[in-house]
Structure 1
Amino acid sequence: MLIGYARVSTTDQDLSLQLNALESAGCLRIFTDKVSGKTHKRPGLSRALRVLSVGDTLVVWKLDRLGRSMKGLIDLAATLERRKIDLRSLTDGIDTKYPAGRFFFNVMAALAVMERELCVERTLAGLEVARLAGRRGGRPRIMTEEKCSEARKLILAGHDRRQTASKLGVSTTSIYRHFPALSAAL
């Protein structure tokens, strides 16, 4: 029996492409997850693994849908092999039912890990270049120098932090973060 597994990393991504491919491949049941590949808790994959039995095949759209680390992929493949369950990746052309498929699986798993590591490396390099150019990532600070100065004046004038936050249009948490209750930082 062919059992399909599809995964996307975030809840706003769409599973349609993977589901269509798995249905076209003849999967009788398909399990899904909407979680990062780094996450160890993937209930859909766990359910698929419980349903699989000797002679069945776990089918995925692409190898990286099973996980991000080489160790994780190899461990999963070893578990499937021990249980006499095959693994097929549709877009990677891998089918561990055959010796060439098992070899190709190991090569593709290594390449998938390398691709992920290169992506992380490029991202970190880009962030470093941006930092050196004086750019910061993330949300702009809500408490600008002007708002901090105004908050200091209001607190010293006797306004409590909740009133100060309301007047400045920021959260009370932001005020407490910059001006803790028993702080001499005023």
Structure 2
Amino acid sequence: MKLYHHPLSGHSHRARLFLSLLSIPHELVLVDLAKGAHKAPDFLKLNPFGQVPVLDDDGTIVTDSVAILVYLAKKQRRTDWLPEEPLAAAKVQKWLSVAAGEIAYGPAAARLITVFGANFRPEEVLTRANNILKQIDATLTQQDFIASAKPTIADVALYSYIASAPEGNVDLSSYAHVRAWLKRIEALPGFVEFQKTPVGLAA
């Protein structure tokens, strides 16, 4: 397998992390976003949206980070990471939607301001970030992982942008259950770290 990625992309890290957690051999292919490689004709043939990550599984192309998580779990038949039972599957899907919604427009957007100079209103994205972190922290008072007692792809989808939230000036100090959850993810066999950037509260 090949994973087209960028080390500062949380979406890319999700896919790389899950590949590593599943011990799937893969080649990392750097896409130089600063030089516009994601908009080059050859890359756009892989993903017309011009976004990383892209998974190339021996010619089968999968785009979108969450879609890659689902694809890998299904292909590897890892029902521990993506349950088949209806309610358990629904719980995972709920948090995948949060990853694409509240996380993307909260902690991820806050980090885009400091790391990439994105033109968002800091007070708005910080409010959204803290609102969702409060909900996640409350959920984690009941269980060790976000959708169940064991890790699922929902945890993988949420991890990268929550772990890097301080880079976007999102303070995690008051979210004890979130911080404990981060440590549990980081203790999983095969964990790979998301590259840090010394900005925001992480400066």
Say yes or no: TM over 0.5: no
Q: Higher strand fraction: Structure 1 or Structure 2?
A: 1
Which structure is higher in RCO with an 8 Å CA cutoff and minimum separation 6? Answer: 2
Q: Larger Rg: 1 or 2?
A: 1
- TM-score, length-normalised on structure 1? 0.30
